């Protein structure tokens, strides 16, 4: 059938019809086909074989296959075809031709005393397969390392597969530690009961999207957002899961919401403080006037009680204003003794009676430099934590001392320097701090309290403030044995502490000078008039800005000082001061306002305000301020 009449080897006779059909088949097949005898001589080559081998039948008939294609001796084709010839078996082989830069596949089967070989160019197929393999590899790498947690679970919630990101996220060594386990095991206990609801939802609706809280190996709770879909294209339903950690996102959202709440609270607090100051201001000055008129011991004792209560209320209002404007800072020289006294006083008034408060200041306690409101906040945050650690009561100890801190001090912050420090200590007899969470207590939003009781920012805020003041915090605690926080602030270098002036000094009096009082609160306006007239001044009063300008113009030559409430009605204070200075360039104006910081005082000075009185002010403060501006 396959013999060439011109060949020198013996022909084999076949049925002519079969011979014709076979030749027709071989001529139309897309594969290249050739036949070799036992001596590897080519006895047949199909038309497509000529194209693939790039040789004609006339060129190759009767020739030794390996002599015609010597480069093939170094390939797998040679090895496998030899094996097929020797063992009389069928083989399939695929190899790359370096010379032709093509891939070929061959199938050799025993035929008569030689081999029947089908071969084809599979380069394009190989390229397609390789491209698919590379694409799958890229996709696999993307899925494994995309940063998303990718996996599958069955209808019962058992993990079937996870990617490398999942393994790294949960601190695993390999997937076997998770595969086969229920997802429920990784959820925080408080939400494990919701897992069955999740399974019911995804099996019913085919998809589920939401968030879940998971526990990492170190005990940290993180928040995952998931987007899962049910697939039913196999013998059993499989849920494909994609998750991402949104803990930081939620933290920032909570921080933003808290900032918005704080802004709202701040605005409300400022408004309340303003109203309270307007109520307290006349009380303070009336108390002073009554002291002058009621001189008996019993009345003086009652007035002293009134004075103490008013001062306490005034201090609380100032704290509210400072809290509302906590973003601003006023750096002053601070007396630690007075600061500790203020903290202890507030704690005594507000903490449960079951908590005993002890205070101790070392003698010759040095000063510190900083924002007294912020440092007060640090101590209060620590005290509030101490209170919460003693729900059944206990002892809270506050102390302060000056000490030298060496560079080798174990708690010294890397940014802080060795030297002289004032150390505040807040110690309690409460529950103590477990060792496993001690390194995390200063993390923002970390809290051991029940949801809603704490935002987890108290210690983080304290640490930020202390660090800003170039100080550091030292923590000593054992679980069940209480906790002690030592807060270190650098001692001020040779800066005097401003002590309160002794009471009972002779107050300055006026000599008939005319003072224009501009105040829209009638109680403050009248008691201010009464106080000034008692001490030798003449007073003109105005209830709003428009009236003030008119009266000042009318009494331009006689008015020496204008006492102006900066929040007076009708006109804003800027318009009033401009108008007054336009009438008289060297007009002396004393502004009255709520708590101001240094930069605001500077701005008021630039607007022509000579001095500023902070509400609620005493008669003593008012009279001394008046005397000061009149002297100049």
Round to whole Å and give the CA distance between 296 and 299.
6
Span of 189-203, 463-477, 585-599 with lowest mean pLDDT: 585-599
Helices marked H in 421-534 — which ranges? 458-468, 522-534
Cβ neighbors of 151 (< 8 A, separation 6 or more) are: 159, 160, 161, 162, 163, 166, 241
Model pLDDT for residues 60-117, shown as the tens digit of each residue: 999 999 999 888 888 899 999 999 999 999 999 998 887 778 888 999 999 989 999 9
Q: Is the pLDDT of residue 5 over 50?
A: no
Round to whole Å and give the CA distance between 205 and 207.
6
Q: What is the pLDDT of residue 455?
A: 47
Burial of 106 (0-12, 13-18, 19+ CB in 10 A): buried
Round to whole Å and give the CA distance between 623 and 107.
115
Q: What is the pLDDT of residue 538?
A: 95
Q: Which residue has the tokens 């005290």?
A: 383
Q: Is the pLDDT of residue 24 over 80?
A: no
Query: How much is the average pLDDT of 46-50?
Result: 86
**Residue 433 and residue 483 in contact, taking contact as beta carbons nearer than 8 Å:** yes
Q: Is the pLDDT of residue 596 over 80?
A: no
**Residue 235 and residue 243 in contact, taking contact as beta carbons nearer than 8 Å:** no
Task: Indicate the helix (H) or strand (E) that contains 174.
Answer: none
Round to whole Å and give the CA distance between 469 and 487.
11
**Residue 306 and residue 287 in contact, taking contact as beta carbons nearer than 8 Å:** yes
Grade residue 11 by pLDDT with cuts at 50, 70 and 90.
very low
Grade residue 357 by pLDDT with cuts at 50, 70 and 90.
very high
Model pLDDT for residues 504-513, shown as the tens digit of each residue: 457 899 999 9
Burial of 385 (0-12, 13-18, 19+ CB in 10 A): buried
Model pLDDT for residues 169-205, shown as the tens digit of each residue: 888 888 888 899 988 887 878 778 888 888 999 999 9
Round to whole Å and give the CA distance between 469 and 373.
12
Query: How much is the average pLDDT of 317-342?
Result: 72
Predicted TM-score (pTM) of the model is 0.46
Q: Walk me through the domains of the chain, giving residue ranges and CATH numbers.
A: 16-124 (3.30.450.20), 146-245 (3.30.450.20), 336-497 (3.30.565.10), 514-631 (3.40.50.2300)
Q: What is the pLDDT of residue 488?
A: 94
- Name residue 187's beta-bridge partners: 214
Higher local confidence (pLDDT), 329 or 419 = 419
Q: What is the pLDDT of residue 324?
A: 58
Degrees to nearest 5, angle at CA 535 with 531 and 541: 50
């Amino acid at each position: 059938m396959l013999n060439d009449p011109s060949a020198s080897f013996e022909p084999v006779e076949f049925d002519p019809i079969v011979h014709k059909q076979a030749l027709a088949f071989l001529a139309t097949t897309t594969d290249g086909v050739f036949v070799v005898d036992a001596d590897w001589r080519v006895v047949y080559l199909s038309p497509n074989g000529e194209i693939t081998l790039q040789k004609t039948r006339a060129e190759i008939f009767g020739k030794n296959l390996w002599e015609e294609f010597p480069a093939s001796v170094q390939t797998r084709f040679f090895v496998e075809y030899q094996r097929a010839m020797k063992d009389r078996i069928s083989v399939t082989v695929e190899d790359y031709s370096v010379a032709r830069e093509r891939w070929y596949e061959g199938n050799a089967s025993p035929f008569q005393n030689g081999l029947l070989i089908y071969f084809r160019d599979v380069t394009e197929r190989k390229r397609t397969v390789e491209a698919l393999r590379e694409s799958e590899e890229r996709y696999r790498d993307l899925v494994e390392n995309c940063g998303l947690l990718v996996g599958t679970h069955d209808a019962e919630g058992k993990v079937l597969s996870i990617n490398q990101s999942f393994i790294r996220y949960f601190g695993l060594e390999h997937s076997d530690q998770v595969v086969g386990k229920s997802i429920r095991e990784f959820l925080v206990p408080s939400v494990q009961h919701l897992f069955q609801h999740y399974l019911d939802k995804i099996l019913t609706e085919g998809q589920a999207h939401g968030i879940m809280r998971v526990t990492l190996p170190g005990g940290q709770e993180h928040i995952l957002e998931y987007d899962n879909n049910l697939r039913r294209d196999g013998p059993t339903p499989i849920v494909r899961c994609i998750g991402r950690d949104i803990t930081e996102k939620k933290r920032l959202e909570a921080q933003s919401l808290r900032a918005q709440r704080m802004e709202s609270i701040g605005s409300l607090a400022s408004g309340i403080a303003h109203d309270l100051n307007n109520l307290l201001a006349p009380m303070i000055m009336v108390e002073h006037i009554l002291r002058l008129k009621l001189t008996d011991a019993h009345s003086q004792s009652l007035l002293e009680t009134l004075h103490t209560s008013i001062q306490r209320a005034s201090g609380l209002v100032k704290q509210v204003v400072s809290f509302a404007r906590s973003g601003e800072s006023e750096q002053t020289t601070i007396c630690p003794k007075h600061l500790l006294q203020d903290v202890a006083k507030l704690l005594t008034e507000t903490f449960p009676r079951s908590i005993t408060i002890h205070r101790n200041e070392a003698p010759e306690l040095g000063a510190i430099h900083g924002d007294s409101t912020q440092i007060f906040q640090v101590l209060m945050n620590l005290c509030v934590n101490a209170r919460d650690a003693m729900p059944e009561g206990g002892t809270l100890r506050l102390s302060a001392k000056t000490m030298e801190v060496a560079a080798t001090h174990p708690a010294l912050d890397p940014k802080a320097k060795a030297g002289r420090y004032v150390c505040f200590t807040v110690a309690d007899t409460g529950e103590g701090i477990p060792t496993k969470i001690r390194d995390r207590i200063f993390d923002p939003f970390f809290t051991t309290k029940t949801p809603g009781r704490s935002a987890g920012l108290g210690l983080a805020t304290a640490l930020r403030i202390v660090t800003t003041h170039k100080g550091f915090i030292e923590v000593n605690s054992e679980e069940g044995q209480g906790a002690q926080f030592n807060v270190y602030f650098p001692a001020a270098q040779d800066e005097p502490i401003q002590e309160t002036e002794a009471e009972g000094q002779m107050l300055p009096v006026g000599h008939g000078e005319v003072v224009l009082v501009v105040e829209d609160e009638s109680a403050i306006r009248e008691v201010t008039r009464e106080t000034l007239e008692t001490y030798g001044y003449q007073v003109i009063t105005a209830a709003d800005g428009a009236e003030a300008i008119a009266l000042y113009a009318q009494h331009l030559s006689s008015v020496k000082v204008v006492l102006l409430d900066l929040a007076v009605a009708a006109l804003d204070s800027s318009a009033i001061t401009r108008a007054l200075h336009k009438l008289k360039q060297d007009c002396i104006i004393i502004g009255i306002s709520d708590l101001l910081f240094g930069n605001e005082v500077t701005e008021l000075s630039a607007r022509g305000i000579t001095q500023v009185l902070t509400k609620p002010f005493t008669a003593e403060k008012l009279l001394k301020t008046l005397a000061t501006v009149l002297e100049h």
